[in-house]
């Protein structure tokens, strides 16, 4: 797995790549090279190039990090929150994930799949956190998210959150990655280091379990739009 995440040749910070990158973020202006410090330019870059920028340091790295954060923070936060079921802990793990991610890039760690790498960091931190903390969380300790929605929808979302929390970790994780974030099974396998058939089975069983838990409320869930 690590090999798959560490295909160094794809994002190694070479001089040629730096030059190529500089042509994207730096534009000539009447003979002078003028920096175009517009984050929108970074939005045009793929993950690999942005990750390369992190190693460059300075404002370039900041803009690149901001762009990557913008792309993936939502998913990582959702993953942490759903896996841990506790807002404060999820916040901590979420922050540590991005800090660790950035530091890895600065240290020259090469990455082929940036979101996959982020999920792996988040996953490891979540697992560590769960291992180090108590195993069970009482129901009244569950911290419901502050959903921005109508009152009716909020209640349904809390119900859904509770139902997901009731799933076993491996089922919950597979469900999140597949059904909430729409990953394909190959991507999921890369993150979880499990086989595709096993993951598929988990997703299907997770949905079956979820249906059982939510059966009294399924008609109401159809209003969740």
Partner 1 sequence: MDQGYLPPEDLMHGYLDGVIDPEQESALFEELGRNPDLRRRFNEQQNIRSSLKYYGGKLTVPAAATSAVFEKLGMATPVASVPTPIPPPANSAATVADSVMQSSLVRYGLTAALAVVVTLVTLLMMDDDTGGALTSTASDIVSKTPARTLDMDVPVDGTIQRAAGASETGMTTAGSALAGLHTGSVDGAIYDNAPTAAITTSGEGQNETISLQELANAQTSFDESESFAAESLSKGALLAVSLPHLGAPHGSRAVPTVGDFQAADFPAVFLPDARRFKMRVNYIGGVSSPDATLNTDNAALSNSQSSENVSIDLMYALDEDWSLGLAYGHEQFGQVFRFRNEDNRLLEFRQNPIIDWVGVTGRYRPADFSLFDATAPYAEVQLGYGTTDAFLGRISAGVSTRLFNLVELDAAWHYSELMYSIPGGRNSSLKRGFTLGFSYAVY
Q: Does 113 bind partner 1 (CB under 8 A)?
A: no
Q: Is 62 in the site for partner 1 (CB under 8 A)?
A: yes
When binding is defined by CB under 8 A, the residue of 52, 55, 82, 113 that contacts partner 1 is 82
Nearer to partner 1 by C-beta: 7 or 74?
74
> How far apart (Å, rounded) are the C-alpha atoms in residues 49 and 26?
15
Strands (E), 14-132: 26-29, 32-35
**What 8-state DSSP symbol labels residue 216?**
G
Asked whether position 160 contacts partner 1 by CB under 8 A, the answer is yes
Chain-centroid distance of CA 140 in Å reads 27
Q: Is 51 in the site for partner 1 (CB under 8 A)?
A: no
The DSSP secondary structure of 155-176, one letter per residue, reads HHHHHHHHHHHTS-HHHHHHHI
Look up residue 163 and give its two tokens: 């139902």
Q: What's the CA gap between 210 and 187, in Å, rounded? A: 23
Site for partner 1 in 195-214 (CB under 8 A): 200, 203-204, 207-208, 210-211, 214
Binding site for partner 1 (CB under 8 A): 39-40, 62-63, 65-67, 69-75, 77-78, 81-82, 91, 94-95, 98-99, 102, 145-152, 154, 156-157, 160-161, 164, 175-176, 178-182, 185, 200, 203-204, 207-208, 210-211, 214-215, 218, 221-222, 224-225
């Amino acid at each position: 797995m690590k090999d798959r995440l560490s295909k160094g040749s794809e994002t190694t910070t070479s001089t040629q790549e730096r030059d190529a990158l500089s042509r994207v973020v730096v534009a000539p202006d009447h003979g002078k090279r003028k920096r175009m410090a517009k984050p929108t330019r970074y939005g045009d870059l793929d993950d690999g190039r942005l990750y390369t920028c992190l190693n460059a340091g300075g404002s370039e790295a900041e803009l690149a990090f901001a762009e990557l954060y913008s792309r993936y923070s939502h998913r990582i936060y959702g993953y942490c929150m759903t896996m841990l079921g506790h807002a404060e802990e999820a916040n901590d793990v979420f922050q540590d994930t991005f800090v660790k991610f950035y530091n890895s890039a600065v240290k020259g760690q090469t990455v082929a799949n940036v979101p996959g790498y982020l999920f792996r960091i988040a996953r490891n931190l979540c697992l560590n956190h769960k291992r180090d903390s108590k195993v069970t969380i009482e129901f009244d300790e569950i911290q419901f998210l502050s959903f921005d929605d109508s009152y009716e929808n909020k209640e349904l979302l809390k119900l859904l959150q509770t139902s997901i929390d009731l799933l076993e970790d491996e089922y919950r994780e597979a469900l999140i990655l597949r059904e909430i974030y729409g990953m394909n099974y190959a991507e999921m396998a890369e993150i979880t280091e499990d086989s595709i058939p096993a993951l598929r089975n988990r997703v299907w069983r997770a949905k079956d379990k979820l249906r059982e838990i939510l059966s009294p409320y399924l008609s109401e869930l159809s209003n969740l739009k």
